[in-house]
Amino acid sequence: AKDVSLNSKLFVSNDVSMDSLLMVGNDVSLNSKLFVSNDVSMDSHLMVGDDVSLNSKLFVNDDVSFNANLTVGNDVSINSKLFVSNDVSMDSHLMVGNDVSLNSKLFVSNDVSMDSHLIVGNDVSLNSKLFVNDDVSFNANLMVGNDVSLNSKLFVSNDVSMDSHLMVGDDVSLNSKLF
């Protein structure tokens, strides 16, 4: 077998079979599809001018960068941490299967519902009214900085101490001695 040299174009009207390597020293242009029956290796960039469709999984050994939006049509699973350097917007529910830690403030613009206990490790400040539908228990002193109004009876199981006057607007009944 000897070498063949052509100094111009080669036109073949049917199939071409080669039993070894095809080496091309410059660009290759294909005007239709390219079918490869085995692995494809490229030692540099792959540039695609239009959409890319993969009919199975995509495995990437290193970082992936997207310079625009990423749209996923189904669930997304992340097997390690997710770091987001800017705001996060979610248009539906956020379900967290374990504890949530926030290292700064939490702002909620609407109602908050909790189906169990609320435990606060420090002071609680309310800038408006507090409504409680059931009993309230305080296990220490109750300090009130202004008047207290009760719209029904007051029951005290022990002594009552007042450091000033007692004003009663109606009758007073005592069931025992007055000292």
The string of pLDDT tens digits covering residues 27-54 is 989 899 989 899 999 899 988 899 999 8
Reply yes or no on whether the pLDDT at 80 is more than 90: yes
End-to-end CA distance of the chain: 134
Measured in residues, the chain has a length of: 179
Report how far residue 29's alpha carbon sits from residue 126's, in angstroms, rounded to the nearest whole number: 72
pLDDT band at 18, cuts 50/70/90?
confident
Q: How far apart are CA 167 and CA 174, in angstroms?
A: 15
Rounded Cα distance between 148 and 162, Å, is 14
b/e burial code for range 31-61 (CB count within 10 A of at least 16 → b): eeeeeeeeeeeeeeeeeeeeeeeeeeeeeee
Mean pLDDT calculated for residue range 119-128? 92
Is residue 122's pLDDT more than 90?
yes
How far is Cα 154 from Cα 142, in angstroms, rounded to an integer? 15
Return the pLDDT at 74: 93
Q: How far is CA 135 from the centre of its chain?
A: 36
Does 1 have pLDDT greater than 80? no
pTM of the full predicted structure? 0.46
CA distance 69 to 126: 41
